[in-house]
Amino acid sequence: MRTDQDAPWWRSAVVYQIYPRSFADGDGDGVGDLPGIRERLDHLAWLGVDALWLSPIQPSPMADNGYDISDYCAIDPVYGTLGDFDRLVEDAHARGIRVVLDLVANHTSDAHPWFQQARSARDHPRRDWYWWRPPRPGLVAGEPGAEPTNWGSFFSEPAWTYDPATEEYYLHLFSAAQPDLNWENPAVRRAIHRVARWWLDRGVDGFRMDVVNLISKDPALPDGAVRRGEEYGDLGRFVVDGPRVHEYLAEFRREVFGGREDVPLLVGEAPGTSLEEARCYTHPDRGELDMVFHFEHVRVDRGEFKWDLRPFSVPDLRRVLATWQVGLADCWNALYWDNHDQPRVVSRFGDAVRHREASAKTLATVLHLQRGTPFVFQGDEIGMANHPFATIDDFDDIESLNHYRRSVALGVPPEEVLASLRAMSRDNGRTPMQWDAGPAAGFTTGVPWRPVNPDHTEVNVAEQRERPGSVLHHYRDLIRLRHEEPAVVEGAFALLAADHEHLFAFTRESEDATLVVMANLSGEPVALPDDVREAAAGSELLLGDAGDDGALGPWQSRVHRRTRARGGR
């Protein structure tokens, strides 16, 4: 496996995210599985990715498609067996591809034995593994308003559910089927450490920790301020980057990674985190997480523990990305455009109608050439787009369905809610992978669990594999460039054309070379400003079409390289 002596392996790596339900179905039941992934490993090897991250594969009632785990150390039968998993790891490793698992430890499923025991009696020793609280004094338990705090969950319901058997409420930041673990309890933390060690001993190479910045809550559980027009209080400051999260993560690394030779990857998903907090998570001296997925470029906080799509403008997007590049210059970034929770990058930031391939390629270029580890979500490498969902019956995701129900109940016209779901629903990222133009896009021989995007007849892996210049070949070129050019990995980031309406341009400067990256994130041709032209003067073109060197066409991008003179400045 590729390992640089000084730098951890993940610095020069590209990680590919697999959403197992939708990647490849090996047994024809319409749901993707581990044998299906194994059969497609050659696709990943051809692309050149260094690691794959699997969204959860453990047993789950699938209230949230596996982000509700009922047994941490097993495989859900729909995905296969532990034997299938071991074979997948073995085959991936044989191709030089590491395997990273999702570690969902903020909450379990309500079907997990820990929760079953906790809810069985108030004095059960496991009661305190979760957050239990009595109803508000003087109010009728189970009635609206009697919840211990005024918090709303991520999924448009109260964050507390009443359990009549023991006459208390339990806390869930997501659905009622996902009770939050109480990390204040050291026994909970030890149990999670054991789970993580168990998978590492089985051969996995790291974890993506789900909502890891939510694991520590303010134990006083205060009410949040209620903003005008909102139903729930703002709980963000009591649970996002909570009081003990840094302590828990330092402990996790010590207990789980201590003494391991090949240090695993630890990337944390951190909705609502700030640059300041991200520096604490990722600073090499602190050693908590290697990198975090922040949400600032994709979402805006609208209070009440909800993040809407961030309105898109190039200056705003560039400012956010550049701020994180500079702000984490002595740390490390996780680079992503989308994942299984976001609309497709080409539909969201690009132009899937008029400039589909060009915009998919250019967005990939600016992602991969920033400083950090790029995460490619399955299907983005062929420019998969949002699905043309028609009615509410076409949606499946719990967040989307709950959001629809609640909004309509509050009087929002259904058509309006539908329009917003089409743009932002998590279902967009979860349609089956488009392998070929055949029935069900080559994803399954059966009936796919989610509808295949009708555009698969044109947009698919088989077609693009045969066509140099395709989005797929472009991704492969970008990944190869990272492996061959040290400046892509380590070069310092500096922004160019800082005031331009459409351009995202920057340099990456290392000891030996300066890379100049210029991208037109619009459908209009642009003339290059002086600072970009000067930076690129006398350089060689590494990627993109040469064309007019004073301009970029619609959604066009180029990467140049200038060798730095030895003994020079």
For 96-228, strand residue ranges (E) read: 98-103, 132-133, 160-163, 168-171, 206-209
CB of 269 vs ligand TEU, minimal distance in Å: 6
The pair of structure tokens assigned to 287 is 């050693």
**Active-site residue, selected from the candidate residues 84, 205, 210, 399:** 210
In the bound complex, which residue of the shown chain has the CB atom lying closest to ligand TEU?
67
Q: How far is the CB of 321 from ligand TEU (least distance, A)?
A: 18
Integer Cα distance of 115 and 15 in angstroms: 33
Residues 329-358 that bind ligand TEU (CB under 6 A): 340-341
Nearest in space to 154 (alpha carbons), one of 208, 228, 214: 214
Strand partners, 181: 130
Q: What is the 3-state secondary structure (H, E, C) of 62-86?
A: CCCCCCCCCCCCCCCCCCCCHHHHH
Residue 174 touches ligand TEU, criterion: CB under 6 A: yes
Residue choice 129, 281, 305, 307 for contact with ligand TEU (CB under 6 A): 307
Residues 359 and 352: beta-carbon distance below 8 Å: yes
Distance CA 266, CA 287 (A): 10
Report which DSSP code applies to 386.
Answer: -
Instruction: Quote the CA–CA distance of 225 and 211 in Å, as a whole number.
Output: 23
Catalytic annotation present for 427: no
Residue 90, helix vs strand vs coil: helix
Q: Is 10 left (phi over 0), alpha (psi -120 to 50) or beta?
A: alpha
The reply to whether 180 sits near ligand TEU by the rule CB under 6 A is no
In the range 38-97, which residues lie near ligand TEU by CB under 6 A? Answer: 64, 67
Q: How far apart are CA 504 and CA 500, in angstroms?
A: 8
Give 104 or 376: the residue with its C-beta nearer to ligand TEU: 104
CB of 399 to ligand TEU, least distance (A): 5
Residues 194-253 that bind ligand TEU (CB under 6 A): 210-211
Report the site for ligand TEU in 418-447 (rule: CB under 6 A): 426
- Which CB sits closer to ligand TEU, 246 or 340? 340
- Catalytically annotated residue among 33, 76, 269, 509: 269
* Position among 399, 427, 485, 509 found at the interface with ligand TEU (CB under 6 A): 399
DSSP state of 23: T
Supply 99's token pair. Answer: 């395997």
Between 174 and 435, CB nearer to ligand TEU: 174
Rounded to a whole number of angstroms, the minimum distance from the CB of residue 567 to ligand TEU is 50
Query: C-beta of 104: minimal distance to ligand TEU in Å?
Result: 6
Find the shortest distance in angstroms from Cβ 479 to ligand TEU: 24
Alpha-carbon distances of 326 from 321, 492, 508, 510, 513, rounded to whole Å: 9, 9, 12, 15, 19
d(CA 393, CA 389): 9
Least CB distance to ligand TEU at residue 341 (A): 4
CB of 69 to ligand TEU, least distance (A): 9
Number of residues that bind ligand TEU (CB under 6 A): 14
Half-sphere exposure of 32 (CA within 13 A, CB side): 30
Q: Site for ligand TEU (CB under 6 A): which residue of 26, 59, 271, 554?
A: 271
| Active-site residue flag, 210 | yes
| Inter-residue contact 246 to 305 (CB < 8 Å) | no
Pull the structure tokens for residue 288.
């908590």
Interface of this chain with ligand TEU, residues 98 to 117, rule: CB under 6 A: 104
CB nearer to ligand TEU: give 398 or 528: 398
Lookup: tokens for 20 = 């197992």
Catalog residues that contact ligand TEU under the rule CB under 6 A.
64, 67, 104, 154, 174, 210-211, 269, 271, 307, 340-341, 399, 426
Catalytic sites, residue numbers? 210, 269
